[in-house]
A and B are shown apart, each in its own frame.
Chain A
Amino acid sequence: MADTVDVLIIGAGASGAAVAWSLAETKMRIVCLEQGGWTRPEEFPSTGRDWEARQNGDFATSPNVRARPADYPINDDNSPIKVVNFNGVGGSTVLYTGHFPRLHPSDFKVRTLDGVADDWPVDYETLAPFFAENDRMMGVSGLAGDPAYPPKQPQMKPLPLGRTGARWGQAMNSLGWHWWPSDTTLATEAYEGRAACINLGHCTPGCAQGAKGSVDITYWPAALRAGVDLRTGCRVREIVTNDAGMATGVIYYDAEGVERFQAAEVVVLACNGVGTPRLLLNSASARFPEGLANSSGLVGRNLMFHPYIQVFGYSDEAVDGNRGSPLCLWSKEFYETDPARDFVRGYMFQFNRGTGPVSEAVISTENGRLPFGKEHHTVFRRSLHRKMSLSVVVEDLPEAHNRVTLDPVLKDGHGIPAPKVDYTVGENSRRMIEHGVARAKRILAAAGCGDIGVQNPILYGGWHLLGTARMGTDPERSVVSEWGRCHDVKNLFIVDGSIFVTAGAVNPTSTIQALALYIADQMKQRLATLFD
């Protein structure tokens, strides 16, 4: 085990899988350490009668609720938005909706365009071929021609509109606002060994049909065929460095709990916006007393979540409910900055279908809509499969006080200090939320919905973990370079959402993976001078 490998990747999620697959063509010896294991399709909740209950149990999106051995606890008490993720092969793509928008070209130039935050050191044009390559690997369904984006070509036809989507479309047309079928990684036809979607309607807690493009069934089979060594049940405790300030490998606990050292020429971090700063901070040493790669003091800072606000109402007739993918459409009507508004940047509307009976009953009981007693039945029957909801997905600006640190007390099952999240919703975001909620209510009214409610923010809505080891050309103002190499440690790379400079207002997985492929490509091009 201690034999030196060429490349050691930490984390087998969205970005780690993409990097492993891309680097595999070099024939270097590549090992990936993943703290969780594989999830078999028959384990997913949609295979059993308790399919709704398990999203509050062993398939909860919150690691604190799920509390599997592969999970590490997160102290997010000081945050109105709780972290959600999945620890295992495939990472959080196992428990995501498959909504797959790209960042917009303007998202990479926010300082230039809007005078806030910082520009990225890469741009949309540079990433475009990697977006396309990633789309091919993940298998994207959608519809070409969206006026909100530069031209792109999804591999498969879009998801059905269904009754709910048609209502959304009619409402948006009546308001004259943009809407478009979402790009998703839900296969609408057989694709590269994946079966077509059959509308299980329960995409987030894992797709038993295998239609959802999670990287355990997209990148990993190809990477394994190419010779990558993926070791599961292996939790990394720290990255070890030598006197020259270079990474020499990692200390980790294997599946039996035995402490081991794996030597490596290159270490690639792919643990996303909470796991990556946690590991860097846990790798402090005499040479790096504030944590590894942290001479800028920015490791863990500038955490961006995307506050999600759900606005919902009830239709006068049954719509799709849970009988189709939860997400189907997006709107970018208010995505780009408008100087007439009292905020900069913008937000996306993400249109949802509905929920199953248990979720409808639980949510409506929690918000007081569903009564106790004999009226329960009447109200429930007026609600089931009539709910329509949309999310206002807000661009969070980077703010240094929103951060990940190490909790002084909390530890994981191996005794490794756990992360602590301190986060508040910023003033620009609050104004954006107010704007978005008002317009979401107009959309619901136009869709014929009444009894409108708002969940602000969605409590367990911390899906997108960004910005805590950001990229840039200035070592004093960034953690990694414009091609993902840590400024302080020349054989340590970061390829996950932590390197985002700004967040945009879309689900980030597509951009995370395009960035990971871009960084892998840069590494391949620079192999002879990688450590210069």
Chain B
Amino acid sequence: MTEQAVLSADERRGLAGFAGVMIPASAEYAVPGADDPAIVADMVSTLGRDAPWVRAALQRLDALAEGCFADLPEARREDVAHRLREEGGAALATLCRVVLQCYYRDDRVLLSLGIEPRPPFPKGHVLEQGDWSLLDPVRQRASMWRRVE
């Protein structure tokens, strides 16, 4: 599925506009916003089965904006996005998930969080054993399963 086939140019601008309201860039944490072109491109190219829901949410944004959501000034976009969040629903949930799952796999974002940008396999993770003496009080308990006879 090509990007062009999934969302129109206006829908793509609406998606970027909403993503930017959700997660703006931060100089403090040195991370891009979710409207970063590479992150939006990831969203569009991996929409897959979520496309109908995302399109429905973007249409709702336009309806709430009484025009093109993407053309609104920033403050108005924030207002409309928050109104959609208050409405809730499956389309909004899908739109938010699409934004978040692409934002939080971006290398720049993960590195800023101290996370190595890689899949879990094959390297895995190191997990400390922990203090097994914590179990001592439980070991000393009497048997607690209920007898049936």
Contact = CB atoms under 8 A, between A and B. Distances in A.
A47 B28 contact: no
B76 interface: no
B78 A49 contact: no
A68 to B, nearest CB: 11
Nearest to A173: B137
Given A57-B49, A161-B131, A366-B93, A372 B120 contact: no
A147 B146 contact: no
A370 to B, nearest CB: 9
Chain A interface main SS type: loop
A223 B82 CA distance: 57
A106 interface: yes
A197 B145 CA distance: 30
Contact of A377 (B31, B121, B128): B31
Contact of A358 (B100, B125, B128): B100
A376 interface: yes
A148 B145 contact: yes
B41 to A, nearest CB: 14
B125 A201 contact: yes
Interface residues of B, number: 56
Nearest to A332: B144
A178 interface: yes
Chain B interface main SS type: loop
Contacts of A521: none
Interface string A351-362: 000000110011
Given A162-B130, A362-B101, A372 B82 contact: yes
A180 B138 contact: yes
A397 B32 CA distance: 51
B29 A377 contact: yes
Contacts of B110: 357
A372 B22 contact: yes
A52 B101 contact: yes
Contacts of B82: 372
B126 interface: yes
B148 A198 contact: no
B127 A365 contact: no
A46 B120 contact: yes
B121 A106 contact: no
Nearest to A364: B100
Interface of B: 21-24, 26, 28-29, 31, 46, 48-49, 78, 81-82, 85, 93, 96-97, 100-105, 110, 113, 115, 117-132, 134-135, 137-139, 141-148
4 nearest CB pairs, A to B: A161-B130, A198-B124, A323-B125, A169-B134
Given A332-B144, A366-B93, 6 more contacts: A47-B122, A52-B104, A172-B138, A376-B23, A376-B24, A377-B28
